[in-house]
Every structure is written in structure tokens, then in C-alpha cells.
Structure 1
Amino acid sequence: MRVALELSGVSKVYPPPTAVTALADIDLVVAAGETVAITGASGAGKSTLLGILGTLERPTSGSVRIAGADTSAMSDRELSGVRATSLGFVFQQFFLLDHLSVRDNVATGLVYRGAPARVRRERATEALHQVGLTGRIGHRAGQLSGGERQRVAIARAIVGRPAVVLADEPTGNLDSATGAEITALLAGLADDHTTVVLITHNVDVAAAMARQVHLRDGRIVADSAPRVGA
């Protein structure tokens, strides 16, 4: 089994005045191409866990490996490189630039890779085709529906062909039918061997992922595939 993400003994403690233990001794192995839902009540540590998986936060203790590389000793610049080349992010808010075309919004996902403009446009077109928005390439982002805007955000996340896509409540601002479409799109990324880890409060979204990991008070208390990595 090829491992995409591995956390070993990860804890995150925020110092005073917050003085909160957000994560406590987390061990988690995610296989390449796996789809995983992180669930739990508000305050359970879901967002902190996703932030650490995405190298947006550093753990207080423990190690984080991405595709076998230990990120604990990496500089901020090296971590930025990991995010640019190995990770894609999808958020509840779409964070699109309404005055830009759909294709230009997606192409921004390649800016930090230094790709020429022609390559960025070509790859953006391919990503939009993958999420079913070929017919919207020339539209401005502000002209799209909520579901279309989230598809653009997903296209931006995958335009760099990352090994892992991390999603934070990706259906939270969508109606149930559109949310189901976005969920199916994210789950389908596994067909291209992309690993997907998302956090959600929605039981239907969680059930659509192959694996569910439940957090409570910063600890993993249930895992539908506890033997992964064994």
C-alpha cells in the first residue's frame, strides 16, 4: 500500500490565553487514492486536523509525513512548496475572483508553480472539463451559481494534479441536491488516484466517502478502517 498521509503521535496545544488542547496523540494513516471523511461535533478538532494535514499549521508534537516526506523539519518555504505541488484545497467559501473568467480563476492554482501562461490556460481547460464546466470557461465567476462556483473551486484545487485534495465543509453553502453533486465529484477523484480528505457535519457527505474517521475532544474515537496501513 502506498501511503499519502501519515500522522504519528500528533498533538496540537494552543498556549494561553486560549490554553486549549485541540488534538491529542493522533495516529492516522491515509492510503493513496483513499477518500476519507473527518467527522465530529464543533470543537472536536476537525479543522485543526485538516490544517495540520495541509501544513497550514504545525503540530505541537508528533510527526506529519506527506508521501513519505517528514514535514516537521521543513522550513516555511519548503512547506509552501509542498502545498503548491502536492496538495489542493477546497473550502466552504469559494474564494473566487468574480471579475476574472472561470478559466483564469482556475489557472491561478498554477501561479506559484511558475508555469507559462499558455500552460496554465491549457491545464485550466482540462480541469474544467473534468468537473463538467467546459461550457462555462469564458464566463466570469460572478455569473455562476453556487454549485458551479464550487466546481470551479474544485477545478482550481486539482489543476496542479495534486496527490491529495483537502476539503473543508465543501457542501456547507449548497442546497442538498447540489451538495450531492459536489460530493460525488469529490468522491470520484479517487478514480484518478487522488486522495481526498474532507471534514463535514453532513452524514450523507460522510457516507459517500470510503472511510469515516470520527473525532471527539481532539481524539480519534472511531475509524471505519482502523487497520489501514497495517
Structure 2
Amino acid sequence: MTAALELRGVAKTYPPPTTVTALSDVDLTVTAGETVAVTGASGAGKSTLLSILGTLERPTAGTVRIAGTDTSTMSDPQLSAVRAWHIGFVFQQFFLLDHLTVLDNVATGLVYRGMPAAARREHATRALERVGLAGRMRHRPAQLSGGERQRVAIARAVAGRPAVLLADEPTGNLDTANGREIVRLLASLGDTTVVLITHNAAVAGAMGRQIRLEDGRIVDDSGGAA
């Protein structure tokens, strides 16, 4: 199987005045198309792991590979390009712009790809159809339910067809029914690799693989060898 994400010997220590070791000697391989839930108590290192997988933070030590490419020597502009073309992000907060329509909220996520406006809107339309919001494109975020707004955020993340989708507590602001729908959607994205953080056992169980962190280390991995 092709590796979508690889960590080897990854550590992350935040410097003084409050020195914190968030990750310690983490080895992890996520293959293309896997759906992975990362669990653990608050402070276990989950958010740091997701940030490093998404190249939002650099590790203190170790190697991060995206689709086989070592990112350790990349410049910040090169890492920005990796994020723009290969990685989509979904967060607990929806981060939608209230003054824009649903369609334009999704289309703005493609600005950094340098696409013409018409192409951005075409990609956004297809993404919204994919998440079941074809009838809501002209609405504004305030006119949507929480579950619909999270669907818009997911559409924005997948509009450019990224190989990897990283989600940080994507159901945290939703009721149980809407949360189930979002999990079902994330688990059905076909060949997109999904890695999500959750405190919810039901959400974790809906993913194909579960990883548990404790004190910055992987202590359990249902997918076998890291």
C-alpha cells in the first residue's frame, strides 16, 4: 500500500519559559485511503500530531513525509504549496465567512491554487454536491444548521481533491444526529485519507483505524505496526 503520511522518530518540544514535550519518538505510517481516529486525554499530543502531519508545525526531531516526500528541508513557501495542493483541513469551529454565500465560502479555499474564479466556483459546486448541499449554495452560513455548516467546511476542505483530510474534533460543536452524519460523510470520502482527532468513542469507532496517544507517545494502534 502507498503511504500517504509517514512519521519517523518525530518529537516536538516547545521551548521555555514553559518547556513542554508534546510528542516523543513517534513512528506512524498512514496508507492512502485509510480513515484514522486519534484519541487520548487532553494534553496527550493529539493536536500537535495533527499539526505536524499537516505541516503547520515543524517537528523538533524526526522526519515527516507526505506521499513519500521528505518535508524537513522544505521552505515555508514550499510547505504552503504542499498544504494547498495535498491537504485539506476541517476544524471544530467552522470558520465560515458570514458575508459570503456557501458557494463562495467553498470557492475561497482554492484561492491559493491560483485558479481563475470560474474554475474555483466549478470545483466548489462539485464539492457541495458531494456533501449533499446542492440546494444550499446561495444561502449564507447564518441560514444553515450546525451540521450543514460543518458540511460546508468539509466541502471547502475537499474542493481541491486533496489526498489527505485532517480533522480536529469535527463533531465537537454538533448534536448527536448531526455528528453521526458528519462521521458517515468523512468515512465515505472514497480514496481520500482521513485522520481525525476525537474524544468521542463512537466517532473513533466509525473510522477504520484507531490510534491512542498518551504523554506524546502512541500506546495503542489498531492498525498494527506503526
- Shorter-chain TM-score tier: over 0.9
For residues 52-95 of structure 1, the C-alpha deviation after alignment (integer angstroms, 9 at most, x for no partner) is 00000000000000000100000000000000000000000000
The offset of 1:170, in angstroms, is 0.1
Aligned CA RMSD, in angstroms, stands at 0.6
Distance in 1, matches of 2:135 and 2:143, equals 13
Asked if the contact 1:187/1:208 (under 8 Å) is kept, the reply is yes
Q: Which residue of structure 2 aligns with residue 42 of structure 1? A: 42
- Pair 1:206 & 2:201 matched: no
Q: Which residue of structure 2 aligns with residue 168 of structure 1? A: 168
Q: Which residue of structure 2 aligns with residue 196 of structure 1? A: 194
The offset of 1:143, in angstroms, is 1.1
Q: Which runs of structure 2 are paired with 1:1-80 in the superposition (5 Å)? A: 1-80=1-80
Distance in 1, matches of 2:188 and 2:135, equals 20
Q: Which residue of structure 2 aligns with residue 152 of structure 1? A: 152
Q: Which residue of structure 1 aligns with residue 135 of structure 2? A: 135
Asked if the contact 1:101/1:139 (under 8 Å) is kept, the reply is yes
SS in 1 for 2:139: coil
Quick check: 88-97 or 135-144, which moved more? 135-144
How many residues matched?
Answer: 226
Letter of the 1:222 counterpart: D
Task: With the length of structure 2 as denominator, give the TM-score of the two structures.
Answer: 0.99
Asked if the contact 1:91/1:168 (under 8 Å) is kept, the reply is yes
Gaps of 5+ in 1: none
Distance in 1, matches of 2:141 and 2:122, equals 18
For residues 120-179 of structure 1, the C-alpha deviation after alignment (integer angstroms, 9 at most, x for no partner) is 111100000000000001111221110000000000000010000000000000001100
Distance in 1, matches of 2:87 and 2:77, equals 15
Letter of the 2:95 counterpart: F
Distance in 2, matches of 1:161 and 1:37, equals 21
- Pair 1:227 & 2:225 matched: yes
- Pair 1:100 & 2:100 matched: yes
Letter of the 1:209 counterpart: M
Runs of 4+ in 1 over 2 A off after TM superposition: none
Gaps of 5+ in 2: none
